[in-house]
Amino acid sequence: MPFVNIRILEGHSQKRKDEISRRVTDAISEVVELPREAIWVVFEDVAASDWFVGGTAVGKPKSQ
């Protein structure tokens, strides 16, 4: 059973997560030839202050 863990910045709507989950599930189902029911997708919402890119939290304004 494939298990997909998606970390995403908090604030995305349930509608958006539903669509991402559907597309990921469809792609995996097609490629590995498994029924959709065998594929698990889990979202982990991460606060922008806990997500860093290039050493800077995404939630902090960039220095000028």
- pLDDT by residue (tens digit) across 6-19? 999 999 999 999 99
What 3-state DSSP class applies to 40?
A: strand
The yes-or-no answer on residue 61 being catalytic is: no
pTM (2 decimals)?
0.82
In the chain the domains, ranked by start, together with CATH numbers, are 3-50 (3.30.429.10)
Q: What is the mean pLDDT of residues 24-40?
A: 97
Distance CA 3, CA 28 (A): 10
**Residue with the two structure tokens 């902090």:** 60
Nearest to 44, CA basis, from 13, 5, 1, 14: 5
Write down the pLDDT at residue 59: 82
β-strand pairing of 40-46 with 3-9:
parallel
Active-site position among 1, 2, 28, 63: 2
